A and B are shown apart, each in its own frame.
Chain A
């Protein structure tokens, strides 16, 4: 089971308290009805599914219930960092290979 640090509660809690909410930093168009089929497909279905560093959303379902973002290595499942929703995608990652 993963140990996940909630950036709002500021502590590591067991995975059971959390719900994964998919890839992070996918912006929903403000005019979703006006999206082309291509753009809608990219927004709704296409995922990067990386083998390596993933930026993903989690929700502290059975804690503060808030969404936040995390950076994780999908090969080792090790978390590099978590950060609050709305914060920009981090460019420097602690402990990550260059």
Chain B
């Protein structure tokens, strides 16, 4: 892998940019690998990268049915934060946030992590209580989060409408200053480039159609559209399709897959300095470096793999956005899309070993997995390499739905997720 630097740019400028190499190679699949990762999204590629860099396991294939980063990694609203209520969640999301800081340098790839601040709005007394509880819990866990008055919120985000007769009055807000955004595609590409340079095979357009198991139950490999590929360890990181893959191995999951939509506006000059989220009206908004407003909506109410959702969901979100930021009422929206998110009953992810020896699963990130990408890959690589979870992901088992030791961020957020 040739390092990217200002000197590389100068050198290539001198010779007509003919010396840039492919960022990752596309080899033919081998007959067998030490580890197969199913799904080349951010989490899967990060897992492969950390398997290679931290654990020295480079005989790894990442299988992707479509193209790299073409699922939810390329469809999310790129928000990064770690202000979750419970200790377990704080542990894993802040682990990720610490890795975001410095990720561009580590990968030698600009992931454009921008800690511009994530503000969450309170619109009623209940919101105030819930969000203040989060502030206190976060501080006890060493996570920065602070309470803002409506006036302070407006000072931090001038487009915000804090008038008292607004349809969704702003009664206060929390602010996590270390939160922000990153460039989602660059995250996938950067991890892919880093993993590929260390010998990991990234195999696109290769759909897993079956999981093979030995008579003793252990995994022996996967059937794919490009033939059988052997491996004694298989990590499933397939987002909305995780339960489909796990069913192939005979494991039924506590997951349901829903469409989640987002949309972007025409690009405009910088007008919006931070990320603003409102859980109560279910709208998130930020401005990309390209100038588009990036807006996230809620999930549809029914199980679907269609990658489209109902228009009324977007309309509801835009109603709220226009109420909270009246200056956007005349913005034109350019495009909208849907991704399929796998949601667990307690809205916390599953990163764990499974009842099947050699089979590992990283799923259930629901509507907010992008922020966790580096941390998730890091601890999942540990889980696969050692056949034992990292202390950070140890609580995120499948068995918690039998034992009752839930990590109930669904109830903690007190909103529809």
A residues sitting closer than 8 Å to B (CB atoms) are 1-2, 15-16, 19-20, 22-23, 37-38, 40-42, 44-51, 54, 56, 72, 74-77
Tell me the nearest residue of chain B to A42, going by C-beta.
B252
Docked Cα-Cα span, A47 to B342, in Å, equals 12
Residues of B within 8 A of A16 (CB): 312
Contact (Cβ within 8 A) A51 B256: no
User: Which one of B256, B257, B305, B401 lies within 8 Å of A41 (CB-CB)?
Assistant: B401
Contact (Cβ within 8 A) A1 B302: no
Contact (Cβ within 8 A) A75 B254: no
Contact (Cβ within 8 A) A49 B303: yes
Contact (Cβ within 8 A) B303 A45: no
Q: Does B81 contact A (CB under 8 A)?
A: no
Residues of B within 8 A of A50 (CB): 303
Question: In chain B, residues 259-298, which have Cβ atoms closer than 8 Å to a Cβ of chain A?
Answer: none
Docked Cα-Cα span, A45 to B303, in Å, equals 15
Contact (Cβ within 8 A) B253 A74: no
Known contacts: A1-B311, A54-B303, A77-B306. The answer to whether A37 contacts B253 by CB under 8 A is no
Docked Cα-Cα span, A22 to B258, in Å, equals 12
**Apart from A40-B402, A41-B401, 4 more pairs, CB < 8 Å:** A46-B253, A49-B253, A54-B303, A74-B306
Q: Does B163 contact A (CB under 8 A)?
A: no
Q: Does B5 contact A (CB under 8 A)?
A: no
Docked Cα-Cα span, A37 to B252, in Å, equals 15
Docked Cα-Cα span, A15 to B312, in Å, equals 10
22 A-B pairs in the complex with CB atoms less than 8 angstroms apart: A1-B311, A1-B312, A2-B302, A37-B402, A37-B403, A38-B402, A41-B402, A44-B345, A45-B401, A46-B253, A46-B254, A46-B401, A47-B253, A47-B254, A48-B252, A49-B253, A49-B255, A49-B256, A54-B303, A56-B303, A75-B304, A75-B306
Q: Which 10 A-B pairs have the closest CB atoms?
A: A45-B254, A45-B401, A20-B301, A41-B402, A49-B243, A20-B302, A1-B310, A51-B305, A46-B252, A37-B402
Give B102-144 as 1s and 0s: 1 = Cβ < 8 Å from A's Cβ atoms.
0000000000000000000000000000000000000000000
Residues of B within 8 A of A15 (CB): 310, 312
Docked Cα-Cα span, A78 to B109, in Å, equals 43
Contact (Cβ within 8 A) A74 B305: yes
Docked Cα-Cα span, A85 to B253, in Å, equals 26
Residues of B within 8 A of A75 (CB): 304-306
Residues of B within 8 A of A20 (CB): 301-302
Residues of B within 8 A of A2 (CB): 302, 310
Residues of A within 8 A of B311 (CB): 1
Residues of B within 8 A of A49 (CB): 243-244, 253, 255-257, 303
Docked Cα-Cα span, A37 to B403, in Å, equals 7
Q: Does B65 contact A (CB under 8 A)?
A: no
Residues of A within 8 A of B306 (CB): 74-77
Tell me the nearest residue of chain A to B342, going by C-beta.
A49
Please give the distance in Å from B339's CB to the nearest CB on chain A.
15
Tell me the nearest residue of chain B to A37, going by C-beta.
B402
Residues of A within 8 A of B241 (CB): 51
Question: In chain B, residues 366-417, which have Cβ atoms closer than 8 Å to a Cβ of chain A?
Answer: 401-403
Residues of A within 8 A of B402 (CB): 37-38, 40-41
Please give the distance in Å from B191's CB to the nearest CB on chain A.
27
Docked Cα-Cα span, A47 to B243, in Å, equals 9
